[in-house]
Amino acid sequence: MKNLRKLPLYLLAILAFGFASCESEDPEKENDGEVITDVILTFQELDASNNPVGAAVSFKASDPQGIEVGATPTIQPVNVTKGKKYQMTIEVLNSIEGEDITEEILAEADEHQFFFLGSGITSNILTTSYADGNGVALGLKNLVTVSSSPGTNNTQLQVILRHDLDKNFPGANNPNFANYIQAGGETDLDITFPVVIN
């Protein structure tokens, strides 16, 4: 009878040992994705010879929790003038860690690439081309031309940053490649800026 009373204790000890030995020894998956809190598009108007005209103007999208993490980022509308050409540069920041992710994107240019879509591109209101230099398809520096007869005052520019894609995939060297997912990789950033055309 005494042995039957000890049975629950034995069972408890065996179960505890069993659960402890079932504990996973697999390493936890690391999240390689960067937290991006701020994206800044800077537009510098250019003349016919691609010389700067006037002062550059910046437009920012931000979310203190991270643009892909937080609820709704604050996005400033991009203001451009019809018939004008601009140099558009992109800065990507992590203000939580005080990190300039732009530098990492530049250092790993063979693994990163921006694509530009949205109604402004598909309706040919905005025309973009890479201007990073040395034939690099990256997208930190771009030329943007605004149609002289856009037919509307409002459109959108979708900014997508892909990581670990196959840059040799047919069409991937086009900044407006709608089938960018076919080139593989992962999306680090996907945000749409409203565009106001003056």
Residue with token string 């086009």: 174
Q: How far apart are CA 193 and CA 117, in angstroms?
A: 11
Please state the pTM of the whole predicted model: 0.82
Question: In what helix (H) or strand (E) does residue 101 lie, and over which residues does it extend?
Answer: helix 101-107
Q: How confident is the model at residue 23 (pLDDT cuts 50, 70, 90)?
A: very low
- Residue 83 above 80 pLDDT? yes
- Residue 20 above 60 pLDDT? no
Cα dihedral across residues 120, 122, 127, 130: positive or negative: positive
Q: How confident is the model at residue 72 (pLDDT cuts 50, 70, 90)?
A: confident
Question: In what helix (H) or strand (E) does residue 107 lie, and over which residues does it extend?
Answer: helix 101-107
For residue 160 the two structure tokens come to: 């997508």
- Residue 48 above 70 pLDDT? yes
Domain boundaries, the chain: 30-197
In tens, the pLDDT along 129-146 reads 999 998 899 999 999 999
- Residue 2 above 60 pLDDT? no
The answer to whether the CB of 93 falls within 8 A of the CB of 37 is yes
The answer to whether the CB of 37 falls within 8 A of the CB of 62 is yes
In tens, the pLDDT along 51-69 reads 999 999 999 999 999 997 6
Question: In what helix (H) or strand (E) does residue 86 lie, and over which residues does it extend?
Answer: strand 85-94
Long-range contacts of 123-129 (CB under 8 A, 24+ apart): 123/151, 123/152, 123/155, 125/150, 125/151, 125/152, 125/155, 125/195, 125/197, 126/80, 126/155, 126/157, 126/195, 128/88, 128/175, 128/176, 129/175
- Residue 11 above 80 pLDDT? no
Q: Determine the average pLDDT of the residues in 101-117.
A: 97
